[in-house]
Structure 1
Amino acid sequence: MKKQVFKILAKINKVVLPSFTKKQLDISKASKLQLAIIGWRAFITLRALD
């Protein structure tokens, strides 16, 4: 059940949150908010794949 929740969150993230790789964002120049979004997306994606 937990995995299903993370899969749903991953789909929501894909639709709602911006993709910084498509915008070719340089991580060294990213703002704290952008870094937080990157971290959140990575956290959810890893949990959905486990």
Structure 2
Amino acid sequence: MKKTFFKFLSKVNKLILPSYTKQKLDLSKASKLQMAIFGWKVFVTKNTLN
């Protein structure tokens, strides 16, 4: 159940949230909002793979 939820959430993130790796964003110059989005995507990805 948990894994399917995170897989769904991952697909929603991919559709809605921007991809900073494709934009080649420098994380040292990222705003707090960009860092929060990046952290959220990492959290969801980590839980999808577990």
TM range (shorter): over 0.9
RMSD between aligned residues: 0.4
Corresponding letter in the other structure for 2:21: T
Q: Distance in 1 between matches of 2:47 and 2:23?
A: 25
Q: Distance in 2 between matches of 1:45 and 1:25?
A: 19
Question: Any gaps of 5 or more consecutive residues in structure 1?
Answer: none
Q: Deviation at 1:30?
A: 0.1
Identity of aligned residues (%): 60
Match of 2:8 in 1: 8
After TM superposition, the score normalised by the length of structure 2 is 0.97
Q: Distance in 1 between matches of 2:7 and 2:43?
A: 12
Q: How many corresponding residue pairs?
A: 50
After TM superposition, the score normalised by the length of structure 1 is 0.97
Please list, as runs of the form range in 1=range in 2, the aligned pairs for 1:27-42 lying within 5 A after superposition. 27-42=27-42
- Which consecutive aligned stretches of 4+ in structure 1 deviate over 2 angstroms post-superposition? none
